[in-house]
Amino acid sequence: MLGLMQNHPLLISALIDFAERYHRDGEIVSRRVEGDMHRYTWADAARRSRQLAHALDAIEVRPGERVGTLAWNGYRHLELYYGVSGSGRVIHTINPRLLPEQIAWIINHAEDQALCFDMTFLPIVQGIHKHCPAVRHWIALCDGDRLPQDSGIANLISYESWIAGRPTAYAWPRLDENTASGMCYTSGTTGNPKAALYSHRSTVLHAYAIALPDSMGLSARDAALPVVPMFHVNAWGMPYAAAMVGCKLVFPGPALDGKSVYELIEAEGVTVATGVPTVWQMLLTHMAANKLRFGALQRTVIGGAAAPPAMIDTFRNDYGIEVLHAWGMTETSPIGSVCTLQNKHLSLPADEQLKLRMKQGRAVFGIDMKIVDPNGNEIAWGTGVSGDLYVRGPWILASYYKGEGGDPLRGGWFPTGDVATIDADGFMQITDRTKDVIKSGGEWISSIDIENIAMAHPAIAMAACIGMPHPKWDERPIVAVVVKPGQEVTREQLLAFYEGKVAKWQTPDDVVFMDAIPLGATGKMLKTKLREQLKDYKLPA
Ligand code: ADP
């Protein structure tokens, strides 16, 4: 027997319709590429998204076809999120920090019909447009009078003149909720990048999940600042969840340095901000150097890479800011787990609580997680043994775009490539990525543990631990570090700092001092590059 309830598909267009109807004067503030601040409301965003849908009709982008973006976080990018997906096309957000030839490869693989870009990225577009024959229109996200006359790009139009004067009413199609809505390529640290293809259903369910109190806990009273880029797994879903709850949205544009982010947080009364650890490191360094305090900020969501405990501590103890440590990946939309404590943990001593907060947390409803041994057998929770992390759920990838790489699932579960433990309460902790684990004498050493200890040393700004080939032990860990400006630490002092914090055999064999650790396109440490840079390195005898 079927239930007798209305069968409304879960559609992205419903999110913007809702925000317009129930939160029409809710603010959206953007720092623009032009340098100034732009302010408008959810009602304005909804109206312009519909004009954009007409503009897409006018250039005959068909249902299901891809529209690429090379853009910072801002209101026009938000309109593309809703106008493109709402009208049945697929928004394909591209990471502009990739190499131009990678960007061209991705555009061609996705067969983007139109490509919308911030003027910052004009040089990239000028370099690649001839290599992307399928792109019929290049759309600069600017006013008509800012369009360069001599760009050399055929079919270049300005976004503002493209949507100007279009009707403000548009009948969003009633799509099947499993229709594709968005596309995001993994950064492809191994092999060619592969794309996750999100659906309306997976996107809306994910938005519900991140808004929950034990996730990001979003409400209409929040002012949310996604520092994490809209080209990085849809800014972790914030642009959708913000419409769902009707909160204020604050977009940082291209200015992601500590000073700019701090000033934006203060000027706009931001209550919740999301980003990767490197962004927060820049913010905290700026605040400490200038003895600054936060006004309205209540919580930060830190994910994309392990949040160092020293960072969690500083936010909480020095500034009274709640840290939500979250885990996810492109293939998981991205949120899989968020670390919020349970009632019984609140009476634990501070150091016990910190140990829990360092973990990547509990699965949010919709996600199921397990860890497995090398034979694929599930490892029981609470044993302390780590294994390969597998996940499943309605916003987890089932297959890559174009079936690339074959069937990724194992018995219905997605193998994440992360190594983790799960404690008796279901709190998951990432100990490594499969390819970064250091195998020393048959035992595993967690590179994250080694990095966290170095990061807790007052003189260290950044640390990356990698394994080096060793004739007897297979591999031994070394730690590459960047020292904070004006600080000093010797190799011996840093190695002594490990005493009592890890077993002797887990202590790195050496410290390599560097000016910078190579970062990938999403601001995470790029260990493949680091290994390359250190290819002539020899372990001390
Ligand atoms: P890429 O795999 O190209 O870096 P993603 O942005 O999808 O692209 O990264 C997902 C990976 O980032 C995860 O598989 C995990 O290794 C790492 N990651 C994400 N969040 C965390 C976290 N909170 N702690 C540790 N690692 C994390």
Residue 303 CB–ligand 1 contact under 6 Å: yes
* E strand segments, 20-128: 27-31, 37-41, 66-70, 90-93, 114-117
The residues that are catalytic are 186, 331, 439, 444
245 lines ligand 1 (CB under 6 A): no
- Does the pTM of the predicted model rise above 0.85? yes
DSSP 499: B
**Residue 327 CB–ligand 1 contact under 6 Å:** yes
List, in sequence order, the alpha helices (H) in 97-140.
Answer: 100-110, 122-128
Place of tokens 């694929």: 376
Ligand 1 centroid–CA 374 distance in Å is 21
pLDDT class of 520 with cuts at 50, 70, 90:
confident
Ligand 1 atom at minimal distance to the Cα of residue 360 = 23
Query: Probe ligand 1: pick from 300, 356, 430, max atoms within 8 Å of CB?
Result: 430
Q: Which residues contact 526 (CB under 8 A, 6 or more apart)?
A: 189, 518, 519, 520
**For residue 99, what pLDDT is reported?**
85
Nearest Cα residue to atom 5 of ligand 1: 329
The overall average pLDDT reported for the chain is: 95
3-state secondary structure of 434: coil
From the CA of 334, give the closest atom in ligand 1. Answer: 7
**Segments of 309-442 assigned E as strands:** 322-328, 335-339, 362-363, 368-372, 387-392, 414-422, 428-433, 438-440
Closest to 140 measured CA to CA, from 127, 150, 155: 155
Distance from the alpha carbon of residue 373 to the mean position of ligand 1, in angstroms: 20
Q: Is the pLDDT of residue 280 over 90?
A: yes
Helices vs. strands in the chain: H and E counts, helices first: 16, 25
Strand pairing of 460-470 and 195-199? unpaired
CB 174 within 8 A of CB 9: yes
- Which pLDDT belongs to residue 118? 98
Q: Is the CB of 305 within 6 Å of ligand 1?
A: yes
Q: In this predicted model, what pLDDT tens digit does every residue of 147-205 receive, in sequence order? A: 988 999 999 999 999 999 999 999 999 999 999 999 999 865 556 789 999 999 999 99
Q: How far is the CA of 389 from the centre of ligand 1 (A)?
A: 12
Which residue's structure tokens are 């140990």?
355
Q: Ligand 1 mean position to 418 CA, how many Å?
A: 8
Per-residue pLDDT at 472: 85
pLDDT tens-digit profile of 461-500? 999 999 998 888 888 999 999 999 899 999 999 999 999 9
- Ligand 1 atom showing the smallest separation from residue 520 Cα: 4
Point out the ligand 1 atom lying closest to the alpha carbon of residue 232: 6
Question: Both ends of the chain: CA-CA distance in Å?
Answer: 73
- Give 534's Cβ-side CA count (13 Å radius): 28
Instruction: Give 233 Cα–ligand 1 centroid separation in angstroms.
Output: 11
Q: Whose CA is nearest to atom 27 of ligand 1?
A: 305
Q: Does any ligand 1 atom lie closer than 6 A to the CB of residue 311?
A: no
For residues 308 and 524, give the distance between their C-alpha atoms in angstroms, rounded to a whole number. 13
- Identify residue 97 by its one-letter amino acid code: R
**Single-letter code of the amino acid located at 203:** T
pLDDT band at 433 (very low <50, low <70, confident <90, very high): confident
> Does residue 97's CB lie within 6 angstroms of at least one atom of ligand 1?
no
How much is the pLDDT for 432?
86
Which pLDDT score is estimated for 189? Answer: 52
Mutate to test the pocket of ligand 1, among 418, 429, 526, 529 (most ligand atoms within 8 A of CB): 418
Residue 449 to residues 318, 327, 361, 384: CA-CA distances in angstroms?
A: 23, 16, 17, 14
Instruction: Choose among 371, 366, 362: nearest CA to 410.
Output: 371
- Reduced 3-state DSSP string for 154-222: CCEEEHHHHHCCCCCCCCCCCCCCCCEEEEEECCCCCCCCCEEEEEHHHHHHHHHHHHCCCCCCCCCCC
The Å distance, Cα 342 to ligand 1 centre, comes to 24
d(CA 187, CA 260): 26
CA gap 318, 284 in Å, rounded: 10
Given a contact cutoff of 8 angstroms between Cβ atoms, the answer to whether 524 and 304 are in contact is: yes
Ligand 1: atom nearest CA of 188 is 3
358-394 pLDDT, tens digit per residue, is 999 999 999 999 999 989 999 999 999 999 999 999 9
Q: How far is the CA of 106 from the centre of ligand 1 (A)?
A: 20
